[in-house]
Structure 1
Amino acid sequence: MTDRRCVATSPDGEGCGEHVEPGAPLDLCGAHFEVAHDWVAQTSGTTDLLPSPCVACGSRLGVRYPSGWLCAVCEWRVGDAPDGETVDPRLDVVYYLRFGDRIKIGTSANPRQRFAGIRHDEVLAFEPGNRLTERRRHRQFAAYRLGTSEWFAPHPEILAHIDVLRAGIDDPWAQYALWRSQKAALRG
C-alpha cells in the first residue's frame, strides 16, 4: 500500500503534502476536502429560478446540483425529454374560485382548460376529489348557495375551509402541479 499525499497547492504554489486517508476518492487531505466541499456547497443544492420552466409541471423553481438542475416541485431533471408515450395522469380536483363577492365550488380533471371558460378573479384553492367530493361540499355549504348554481356567498365557514386547504400553500397551482407529478411518479 502506498502512502498517498495531498496534491493541493496554495496560491503561492506551495504543496500541502499532508497524508491522504485510505479510500479517499481524490488525493486530498481532510482539510482540503472540507475546503472543496464548502466551495461546492455554495451553489450545490441551492434553490433558484430554473433556466426554463419545468417540462413536467411548469414550475419555475429549481435546485442546482453539480450534475445539473432538478425541478423543486416534481424533481424532474432539467434537460431530460419526456418519452413520447408519456400520458398526463388524470387528477380530479375540487376547485374554489372567487369572482367579485362570490365563490364557485366545482370540479375538473383539467382546471386550466376549465377556468378559461369561467369568469373569475382568483384561484383560491384546490383539493383532491371528484364529483362526489364536489357534491359533499355543495351539501356542506348549501345554506350559502346562490340559487341552484355552483356559486356561494363568501361565508366565514366556506372561507375557513379554504384557509385549511391553503395552509402553508402560497400558490394553489404549485400544489396542483405537485399532486400531478406525484401521481405520475406512482404510475411508474
Structure 2
Amino acid sequence: MVCGAAVDSGAPVNLCAHHLLVAYDWVARDVGVTDTLESPCLACGSRLGVRYPSGWLCAVCEWKVGEIPDSGVVRARVDVVYYLRFADRIKIGTSSNPRSRLANIVHDEMLAFEPGGRLLEQARHAQFASHRLHRSEWFSVHEALLRHIRIVNTGVDDPWQIYKRWVSEQVALRG
C-alpha cells in the first residue's frame, strides 16, 4: 500500500517521514534506543541507558531502571590514585572510595584520577619526590607534575565521570 505522502530527498529508503518513524519504532522495540538516563543507575552509577518499550536498562550493567538493587549487591571496588589541588600545592593520594575520602580533605579542585592502588601512589610519590612537601602526600605545583596530570586527563572532561565508568565496567565484568 502506498501512502502518497512526499518522500524527503535525503531519505535512506523510499518512505515518507511518518512511515520512516514507524519503521524506526519497529526496529527500536528489539534493539532499544541508547540515551541518557534521568538519574544514575542505582546498581553501578552509569548515566547511559537503553530505552525499550518495556522500560529502561542501564547500558553498562543492564540493571532495570527503577528496580532497587538487592541488599546483597556490592558495588565494585576500583582503587584510584587521585590528584587534588589546594592553593599552590597538589596532593597525590589513593582510595577505593574517593567520594568519601575527598569529602574529608580540604581542596580547591579535583584534578584527576588514575587507576591504581597503593603501589602506584608510592611510585608517583617517588617520581615527584624532589617537589614533595615535608614528607607528606602534598607536592609543590611544578611543570612535570602538571604535565603528568594532563596526560592522565587526556580525553577526560570530568574526572568523576571517568571514575564512574571504571566502576560501571567492574560491575558489568562481575555480572
Same fold (TM over 0.5): yes
What does residue 172 of structure 1 align with?
159
Please report how far the alpha carbon of residue 46 of structure 1 lies from its aligned counterpart in structure 2 after TM superposition.
5.4
Larger Rg: 1
What does residue 27 of structure 1 align with?
none
Q: 1:58 to 1:83 in 2, by over 3 A?
A: same
Which residue of 142, 147, 154 corresponds with 1:155? Answer: 142
CA distance in 1, matches of 2:122, 2:163: 20
1:98 match: secondary structure: strand
Q: Any unmatched runs of 5+ in structure 2?
A: 6-13
Please report how far the alpha carbon of residue 10 of structure 1 lies from its aligned counterpart in structure 2 after TM superposition.
7.1
Task: Choose 91-100 or 78-87, whichever is displaced more.
Answer: 78-87
Q: 1:63 to 1:165 in 2, by over 3 A?
A: farther
Contact 1:63–1:71 (CA<8 Å) still a contact in 2?
Answer: yes
- Structure 1 length-normalised TM: 0.72
Which residue of 73, 98, 102 corresponds with 2:85? Answer: 98
Q: 1:75 to 1:145 in 2, by over 3 A?
A: farther
Which residue of 66, 75, 92 corresponds with 1:88? Answer: 75
Please report how far the alpha carbon of residue 170 of structure 1 lies from its aligned counterpart in structure 2 after TM superposition.
1.1
What does residue 131 of structure 2 align with?
144
Matches within 5 A, 1:58-97: 58-60=45-47, 62-71=49-58, 76-97=63-84
CA distance in 2, matches of 1:114, 1:103: 16
Which residue of 20, 23, 26 corresponds with 1:37? Answer: 23
Please report how far the alpha carbon of residue 117 of structure 1 lies from its aligned counterpart in structure 2 after TM superposition.
1.2
Contact 2:60–2:169 (CA<8 Å) still a contact in 1?
Answer: no
What does residue 9 of structure 2 align with?
none
1:168 match: secondary structure: coil
Instruction: Tell me whether 1:184 sits opposite 2:163 in the alignment.
Output: no
Aligned letter for 2:33?
G
Q: Alpha carbon RMSD of aligned pairs, Å?
A: 3.0
Please report how far the alpha carbon of residue 59 of structure 1 lies from its aligned counterpart in structure 2 after TM superposition.
4.5
Q: 1:46 to 1:10 in 2, by over 3 A?
A: farther
Q: Any unmatched runs of 5+ in structure 1?
A: 1-5, 12-29
Aligned letter for 1:109?
S
Q: 1:10 to 1:39 in 2, by over 3 A?
A: farther
Please report how far the alpha carbon of residue 143 of structure 1 lies from its aligned counterpart in structure 2 after TM superposition.
1.0
CA distance in 2, matches of 1:10, 1:68: 34
Matches within 5 A, 1:101-120: 101-120=88-107
Deviations 1:59-118 (A, max 9, x none): 555454444334466554422332331111222111111111111000111111111211
CA distance in 2, matches of 1:145, 1:41: 58
- Structure 2 length-normalised TM: 0.76
Aligned letter for 1:47?
D
Q: 1:174 to 1:99 in 2, by over 3 A?
A: same
Aligned letter for 1:132?
L
Relative contact order higher in (CA < 8 Å, ≥ 6 apart): 2
What does residue 119 of structure 2 align with?
132
